Structure 1
Amino acid sequence: IIEMASACGLPLIDSSRRNPMKTTTYGVGEMVADALKSGCREFIIGIGGSATNDAGIGMLKALGARFLDSGNGELEPVGENLIKVHQIDISQLNPALKESHFTIACDVSNPFFGKEGAAYVYAPQKGANSLQVIELDNGLRHYAQVIKEYTNMDISQLPGAGAAGGMGGGLLPFLNAELQSGIEVILKTLRFEEVVRQADLILTGEGKLDRQTGMGKALDGILRVGEKCQVPVIALGGAVEATEALNRMGFTAVLPIQPFPVTLEEAMQPEFTKENIERTVRQVVRIIKQFTK
């Protein structure tokens, strides 16, 4: 089991230095190569929370792939070079990959490119400005076409292909891999539905509640189980946007946990967050008890 963000996650780089034009998934490939060397052949890769937008070419390079420009020069595997990829050479790809299977656990359903794709939706939080977002999106469009020419696989509108800066779709043509909902993998492992059927209320949450919450992420999976079992779901967030849209998705209520305006750094302090969650849950329970006496 490999967590992508442990090699190229947002927390690993200071916010002032984040730049998805320059960051790479190469380290994830190093982790896979090490696991292959140790004899592993069945992989689950959790993708998400990355600081990258390189469509997985960094990981593939670490495993032996080469990405060449129109002059046969080898490209550095970073987001800004996707637009320059002219040839893909997988002749030296690690041979152990042919014996391996990859489950790519992904928590969003975004396509590879476009207004709902990897660059437009996620690159800004990785440090991209508006011009870089356009450049990255153009790079993803171009690279998707190159992939189609070389592998005959069209990943452009595949749900989840835009996850983790295009990692979701970028690996499928070159590995024995399948995309699966990360939350579904987890909920199945936990036998979550069996637990929910015995519950009266689900309290869940994430750092920021917004329109992305309903794009196949963890809370979306939890909400679907709650609806199936007819158990109400209340979501708590460090920040809340698009409240009405979230209510229409099916959440009984969405509530912020912050007691007063705070900086992002303060909001992410574990003890402060724990206190805020506990206080908010206590208030929710007090309301419920008042109306169920």
Structure 2
Amino acid sequence: MEELKESVKSGYLTEKFKLFHLKDSQPREYMYHYHDFHKLIWFISGDVEYHIEGKSYKMEPYDILLVNQGEIHKPFVDFSTIYERYVFYISRGFLEEHSEAGSDLNQCFQTAHEEQGNIIRLSAKESRALFETVKLLEGVEKEQVYAEMYSRILFLKLLIELNKCCLNNPDVYHKTARYDKKIVEMIHYINENLSKDLSIEALSSRFFISKYHMMRKFKEETGYSMHQYVLEKRILAARNLISAGCPATTASVECGFKDYSTFSRAYKKLLGQIPSDAYL
């Protein structure tokens, strides 16, 4: 259980969405982390390689990086140049609230997850048009009349136009990541089969790889031990089920925990609350 200390839930979102314009020039160490919300990064400049769930992306200016809620990620930055980007924290509830039948604002994030392509590269014309909206959002002063409404309208415009670009041209999802195919297949299997036996022995047998080589490569590619990764993914999935109204005992079983007390202790250690708090 001590392995839980190696990972971190990063950032808090008390609003429906939030925009940050960040410029880092001083060396700092980023940890592997995840969020309880979606994150959109509009990359401006720097020498950055972004790691997401075992895949590594070399960022190019004006790339859009989509990180789904719960996806484990970390940037590797060469601070010889300034690392500049716009970062949006986005509540999934906000996307659901403003989506309609046939017009799902979560579609670009869902496609990025399903296609395992987290980078969007738009044409110069499309990128300029969308970036104008980003700059307008940045310029909204919180104290001005109708600021909150205007920000919401601008952000919805940005999301609608981004999703339209992705629907009209699926090739905007750039699958240029470097990755170990076996490890990425394993990550996908784990996330799709949380209720099944995901022990080291079971995974080693399924993927025809020695236990020690598998554990070493998994840690190397993801920053997580296999035990830690499986445990956290199970807890986060259970939290989502409980939040949706599923009884905590049922959620723990559906996410692969054989003993509720073990689940409850691990849940509290990772999330800082007991499972029943997710109903609130």
Question: Normalising by the residue count of structure 2, what TM-score does the alignment of the two structures yield?
Answer: 0.31
Flag the structure with larger Rg.
Answer: 1
What's the TM-score once normalised by structure 1's chain length?
0.30
